[in-house]
A and B are shown apart, each in its own frame.
With several copies, the nearest count.
Chain A
Amino acid sequence: MPLAATARRLMPLVCALGLIVSTAPAVADTPALPNEQPRVETLPELSPHWFLVNDFNGPGTMDSKVYLFDADSGRMLGMLSTGAWRNVVETAPDFGTIYSPETYYSRGTRGERTDTVTFYDTRTLSVKGEAVIPPRRASGLPHRAYSGRSDDGRFVYVSNMTPANSVSVVNTETMAFASEVETAGCAMIYPTGTRSFAALCSDGTLQNVRIDDNGALAERSRSPRFFDPEADPITEKAIRLDNRWYFISFAGQVHPVDVSALAPVPGTPWSLLTKDELEQGYRVGGLGFAAVHEGTRELFVIVNQDGPDAHKNPGKEVRVYNIDETRLVRTIKLVADAGIIAVSRDASPRLYATNMGIPAVFVYDATTGAHLRTIEGPPITPTFVQVP
């Protein structure tokens, strides 16, 4: 290092607190750099190209993290420490608060377990409060649908598994646990309005649960059987547009389900892949292989060519479909394998692509497919990317 010769010796002089000021002659004619006061940053105004990266942290799963980045500058903006077993966070409709389901043990990996939804002020990335929830939060390989939020932001839902399935409901206004709703035989959380959420059932149906204004169970309904969990199961990686959830099967069948009413109404399935493509081994795949852009009504899906059982494999191609016209619009060739994608919500959308095994996030123009930037990690085991 070039400065070694000069700086190696410790000067016998300290100006801590400015109580002592050196009168050593300036070497240059310019005034000396002013003394600085260290401070803590707060975040500037929200940009549509900010994104969150949940880091599962494979080398230290009990010490997970959520990173915030600005895709335009490529800079990291801040981080949250979010306890054991990261899935995803929920965010307030105005992105002013981050709701993070977290798990802690009194001795790190042992002792008393405490699960929380922790409330972070997004502007300061500091804790505003926490709701202690039942210590049954589902964990494992991260899934987006392990939690959800009511459309109005009033309630956050957290998936439990013991292995019995239930959902912890948290009131975001009172920052308190509201109720636990059993969803026997049905897993994951797909919000369906301001006071309801759905869960996927092993018999090929969708259960829809309505809660009251206190977060307690009000009533339930169940869709007709709309997929065959043996012949061609749908994955947990669904996307929502308006009042419709779009579930995607291993073989790339899209199953739309209308959730406007309490009883979910399945629509007509359509296919992302042709019969020829399926035979050639094309499959949808990845930890979070689907994303949607509301403005353009476009569905983004990662495709690989690894054949059967490739539903978790990453791919180097993102296909873009018009979801209303059920047709392929274009294909984006990625510069690196991706298993996880997200698309910003604005009119100049960015496509974020990453993979748990690659400590980097790749930023593309979602419209042209151009690769704009690579943001090197850490995060070292990026799981879900989330957009404000």
Chain B
Amino acid sequence: MNWFDQQVTRLTRQIAARTSRRSFLARAGLGLAGVAAAPLLPVARAYGASTPLDVAQDPGDPSQCDYWRYCAIDGFLCSCCGGTASSCPPGTEISPVTWIGTCHNPGDGRDYIISYNDCCGKSSCNRCTCNRNEGDRPIYQPAKSNDINWCLANTSNAYHCSLAVVIGVGSAG
């Protein structure tokens, strides 16, 4: 178990201890995954609501597979399904657990930690299929695996589309 896994596991155990409805997480042991971010800051950029500054800092089209945040995604882009890169389409449920990638933002030269939460509870949106595997790891390393249907902990495991949410800045590595 490497440092990354230890961090994720530790974090998740903290959540599990605090959140009874996430009690399943306490059982997850070594195979634990990334966790959706709790409220921190308002969403800076929604589809069609970007300012010029935003575009310079967060360049590219979130409805295209080559958008920088999608470097480790495998799924349908929520930006094409009624959501944005960080918001699920109406009537779906955000996956509380997910996988994590690190993507380079050409707008500011930083690497960001991206949480690829799935939006759940409806069948496949089926639009804007995007499969990029930078840093993707096999399923026995679930925190880094984009093959997994991360709706596994939702009320329904029907998978609709995937987000790419900025949850932190990584080292320039």
Chains A and B touch each other in the complex, with CB atoms below 8 Å apart: yes
- Chain A contacts to B: CB under 8 angstroms: 1-4, 6-22, 24-28, 30, 32-43, 58-63, 65, 68, 73, 75-81, 84-85, 103, 105, 108-111, 113, 120, 123-127, 136, 138-141, 143, 161-165, 182, 184-188, 199-203, 229-230, 233-236, 309-313, 377-378, 380
* A3/B44 contact (C-beta < 8 A), A28-B109, A80-B122, A229-B2 known: no
B138 touches A200 (CB 8 A): yes
- With contacts A7-B71, A35-B41 taken as known, whether A235 is within 8 angstroms of B138 at the C-beta atoms is yes
Give B contacts to A, CB under 8 Å. 1-5, 7-8, 11, 14-15, 24-25, 27-44, 47-48, 56-58, 66, 68, 71-72, 74, 80-84, 86-94, 97, 100-113, 115, 117, 119, 121-127, 129, 131-142, 144, 146-150, 152-153, 155-160, 163, 165-173
Docked CA distance A84–B165 (Å) = 27
Q: Are B131 and A37 in contact (CB under 8 A)?
A: no
The answer on a CB contact under 8 Å between A163 and B97 is yes
A65–B138 Cα gap in the complex (Å)? 25
Q: In the complex, what residues of B have CB within 8 A of residue A58's CB?
A: 124, 126, 129
> A202 near B157 (CB under 8 angstroms)?
no
Are B147 and A141 interface neighbours, CB within 8 A? yes
Q: Which residue of A4, A8, A33, A38 is within 8 Å of B117 (Cβ)? A: A38
**Option from A4, A15, A37, A127 in Cβ contact (under 8 Å) with B168:** A15
With A22-B168, A229-B141 already in contact, the answer to whether A62 and B34 are too (CB < 8 A) is no
CA of A141 to CA of B21, assembled, Å: 27
- Specify which chain A residues have a CB less than 8 angstroms from the CB of B142 in the assembled complex: 161, 163, 187, 202
Q: Is the CB of A37 within 8 A of B172?
A: no
Q: In the complex, A378→B1 CA distance in Å?
A: 42
In angstroms, Cα B160 to Cα A216, docked, is 36
Residues of chain A within 8 A (CB-CB) of B66 are: 1-2
Q: Among B81, B88, B157, point to the contact of A85 (Cβ < 8 A).
A: B157
Q: For residue A28, which residues in chain B have a CB less than 8 angstroms away from its CB?
A: 107-110
| A19-B37 Cα distance, complex, nearest whole Å | 10
Are the CB atoms of A40 and B113 closer together than 8 Å?
A: no
Complex alpha-carbon distance, A165 and B36, angstroms: 20
Q: A19-B14, A124-B90, A201-B140 provided; 13 other pairs, C-beta below 8 A? A: A1-B134, A14-B11, A18-B167, A37-B37, A40-B87, A41-B82, A41-B87, A76-B80, A78-B81, A79-B82, A141-B74, A141-B148, A230-B2
